[in-house]
Structures are given as C-alpha cells and as structure tokens.
Amino acid sequence: MSGVLIGKPANLKGTVKISGAKNAAIPLICAALLAKGKVLLKNVPQIKDIENLLEILRRLDCKVSQKRHRLKIDNTNLKYQPLTFEEVKKMRGSYYLIGVFLTLFSKCEIYLPGGCNIGKRPIDIHLDAFEQLGFSYKIIQDTLFIAKEKELKEVSFRLKNKSVGASLNAIFAALSLSKVTMTNTLFEPEGKDVLTFLQKIGYSIRLCFDELVYEKKPLEFRMISHKMIPDRIEAMTYVVLGLLSGRITVCNVCTEDLELPLELLRTSGYDIVTENKKMIATCSRGSGMNIITEVYPGFPTDLQAIFGVLCAFASTESEITETIFENRFQIYEDLHRVGISVCKENNKILLKPQKFSSDAVVFQAKDLRHGAALCLLGCALFQDVVVENFEYVERGYENFIAKIQSLGGNIERINEKNK
C-alpha cells in the first residue's frame, strides 16, 4: 500500500506538461498487435496500467521496448495464451485483448477484467457485439471462453447500447470479416485516435456520426509511427488544481476536446485562459455549477469528482448528476467529512459549500479519479492530509507527485510497500 502526505497549501506556480492519454494508450497498444509490421508509439504515458499491459504483451512473446515516452512493439512472434486472473485483475482495459485475439486467433480465454470500483461495469454490450460477429461464448467461474462459431463475411448490426469500450472492442473483433457495418457506436477523442491508428496500419474504416463501416483489404507490411493524443482528463485535473491554489500553465493539450468543461468554468466565473495548446488557470472563486455527466462531447464522467472538489470551494451551491457510472460519488462522503453539506438523491448530489473543519484527515482513494480528487482537496485544505491507496492514482497519472512538487506543491510519498 502506498500513500501521500499533503501539507499546508502552497501557492502553486509554474508549467505542467500533459502526458499521452491513458484511455487512448491502452487500446492503441492492444491495436498494435493487429499491425503487419513494427509499430512505434509516441507520447505513451508512463503509468501503472501501461506497465501492466506491457507485462501481458511480453508474456505473449511480443517484443516491446520502451524509451521514455516512445514504445516499439514487434508482434512477429506473438503467440496465443489464455489471459489469467493475475494479469487482467488490475486493469479493466485488458478487455481490449478479447477483440484483438478474436481477429488474430478466432478465440480468447480470459478472466473477466477488473479495474476501478466505480460501478458494476458489465461487458454485455461487448459480448452482444461479438455474437453478432459470429462468435459464441460461455462464462465459467468468472472466466470467459469465446470462439468463432459461424464463418460470416458481411455483417450489419447495431451496438445494443452506447459504450466506449464495446465500440472499440467490436471493431477489433470485426477485422477478420470482409465487411462490417456497426451503428450506435461511441468514439470519444481517444477512440477516434485508435481509429486513425487502425487506418494507418492499413485497415479501411469509415466513421460517419455513429455508423462505422469496415471493408477488408489486403494488409501491406509497413512500419508505423503514431503519436497519441494528450490526456484531456489529466489536463483538466491540473487546471482545477490551478483554480484552487495558484497559477498553473497546462501545456501540450487539445483544448478543442475540452470545450464543454472549459465553457462551464468560464460561465461560472473562473479565471481560465486558453491559447493554442495551453490553458492558464489562476486561483479564483467561481459560483457553483450544474454538472451532468454525458458521453462525449458532454461533460466527462472522469472529471466529475475533480470538479466536485472545485464546487466545494465555490461561492454558491452546486448540483452534480452522474449518468454513466453508478458508484462515482465517494468524494462527496469525504467532502462531507471536512464540513461540506452534501445531500444525495439517487444519482444526484446537492452540494453546499461551508466552512471547512480543521482536523487532520486521512482519506482512502477508492478509484483513480477519486484518488486524484482527494489529492486536489489536500492541496487546497489548510491542514495536513494523507491520501491512502495512492496506487490508484498511479494507474492513470504519470509522475503525479513530481509534477505537483515542480509547481511548488507540498506533497510527498509515505509508507510505500508493494501490495
């Protein structure tokens, strides 16, 4: 278990460079197994989820070599193996290997992937898509066995619900067929980055609104290099940190992927300036917000807890509705512990800022974004704060401690022991 100690707030100042997007990196690395030729991925974040995924690839005899943010993948000797509990329990994104395996090996055996504690997170939409593509499955004691049942050539179907993961997994599984048309797909900026990569490695894919069409063409051997998009959630995490405690320039970002959260901050009176690939966030007290999480381009669920912390310091009340994951409200219990008035009604939180209580507090991160939100809270409170289970944060944020320290933040690691 590892934790961080966050001391009294400093006036954070400086520039922070945003890393590549976790939610693009995971499927991109899996998609690299579908290339005919070597792949160089650039701007790969150095985070725990990627380390875990690369471990799996090595066990499958895939050659991977990493130099800082550049990752070379050579899948020449890739071999089929069942994916075990130990390998997949730590990261939900390992489910992308199912679609990839179905195209490469026509089968997959995998322990049902784990991940953050943010809700039930079934994979029924993925499974339904695999069935439409001619695969059949059974689940025995939490292990999924799936294999080709029908040799289909052309398939046209609708994903049974909107899902980021299922849309990508379905296209990964579709690539051995001749022609596939899927509707009701959902590709956020990270998913679109993966589609661009698939096109670069030679797959013929067209996306028009939510309809995706794939047509098989012979793959040529090529060397591909692809630079992944920056992490919009990491970027906004540092923006919120700047708004809470200093003046932070957040660089290497795609502001066009963040229009809605930026608009919300501006209309609530926060001091945020965007220029080219930069955002400059200056400590300011805005009014409360009405946040409703939605699929892209709506307000991202991954920012809900982080904005929740900002709302606790606002001048008026906020209303926060979570529509994607049913269990992403842990941060409000913590805010309540430090004196904020919080009222929960189904999937809605009513939050009334009040004077913070001043006892030292120990918090426990329950998932990645909850952990990051707790650290932001710690950076803004006038008391020492400990955030335990910091390994959740390290799953998705590169050098979180070092980046905050470089801004003058009072944060240090404590009590590290391998779990």
* Residue from 188, 231, 322, 398 in contact with ligand EPU (CB under 6 A): 188
* Residue from 93, 189, 288, 308 in contact with ligand EPU (CB under 6 A): 93
Within 309-328, which residues bind ligand EPU (CB under 6 A)? 324-325
* Residue from 43, 52, 132, 163 in contact with ligand EPU (CB under 6 A): 163
Q: How far is the CB of 91 from ligand EPU (least distance, A)?
A: 8
Q: How far is the CB of 233 from ligand EPU (least distance, A)?
A: 6
The residue among 33 and 338 lying less far from ligand EPU, judged by its C-beta, is: 33
What sign has the CA pseudo-torsion 79, 81, 87, 91?
A: positive
Cα(91)–Cα(169) distance, rounded to whole angstroms? 15
Q: How far is the CB of 95 from ligand EPU (least distance, A)?
A: 8
Q: Which residues, including other chains, have CB under 8 Å from residue 181's CB and lie 6 or more apart?
A: 155, 156, 157, 211, 212, 213, 214
Instruction: Using CB under 6 A, count the residues that bind ligand EPU.
Output: 28
CB 399 within 8 A of CB 68: no
Q: What are phi and psi of 271, to 5 degrees?
A: -90, 95
Q: Which residues, including other chains, have CB under 8 Å from residue 97's CB and lie 6 or more apart?
A: 30, 33, 56, 83, 108, 110
CB 405 within 8 A of CB 16: no
Cα(15)–Cα(13) distance, rounded to whole angstroms? 7
Give the contact letters, 114-153, x = binds to ligand EPU (CB under 6 A), - = no.
--x-xxxxxxxxx---------------------------
The residue among 48 and 288 lying less far from ligand EPU, judged by its C-beta, is: 48
Identify whether 297 is preceded by a cis peptide bond (ω within 30 of 0): yes
Amino acid at 323: T
Q: What are phi and psi of 240, to 5 degrees?
A: -65, -40
Pairing of strands 361-364, 385-388: parallel
* Residue from 113, 189, 242, 396 in contact with ligand EPU (CB under 6 A): 396
Q: Give the residue at shortest CB distance from ligand EPU.
A: 165
The residue among 298 and 408 lying less far from ligand EPU, judged by its C-beta, is: 298
Q: What angle do CA 221, 226, 231 make, to 5 degrees?
A: 150
Give the contact letters, 291-310, x = binds to ligand EPU (CB under 6 A), - = no.
---------xxx--------
The residue among 92 and 403 lying less far from ligand EPU, judged by its C-beta, is: 92
Q: Which stretch binds ligand EPU (CB under 6 A): 12-20, 52-60, 157-165, 208-216?
A: 157-165
Q: How far is the CB of 390 from ligand EPU (least distance, A)?
A: 15
Q: In what order do the strands lie in the sheet with 39-42?
A: 63-67, 70-74, 39-42, 224-227
> So which residues are the catalytic ones?
116
Q: How far is the CB of 368 from ligand EPU (least distance, A)?
A: 5
Q: How far is the CB of 356 from ligand EPU (least distance, A)?
A: 26
The residue among 21 and 279 lying less far from ligand EPU, judged by its C-beta, is: 21
Q: How far is the CB of 118 from ligand EPU (least distance, A)?
A: 6
Cα(228)–Cα(220) distance, rounded to whole angstroms? 22
Q: Which of 178, 131, 119, 138 is nearest to 158 (CA)?
A: 131
Q: Which of 385, 383, 366, 367 is nearest to 375 (CA)?
A: 385
The residue among 126 and 403 lying less far from ligand EPU, judged by its C-beta, is: 126
CB 134 within 8 A of CB 158: no
Cα(296)–Cα(232) distance, rounded to whole angstroms? 12
Token pair for residue 68? 């800082």
Give the contact letters, 348-387, x = binds to ligand EPU (CB under 6 A), - = no.
--------------------xx------------------
Q: Which stretch binds ligand EPU (CB under 6 A): 99-107, 137-145, 159-167, 354-362?
A: 159-167
Binding residues for ligand EPU, rule: CB under 6 A, are 22-23, 26, 92-93, 116, 118-126, 163-166, 188, 300-302, 324-325, 368-369, 396
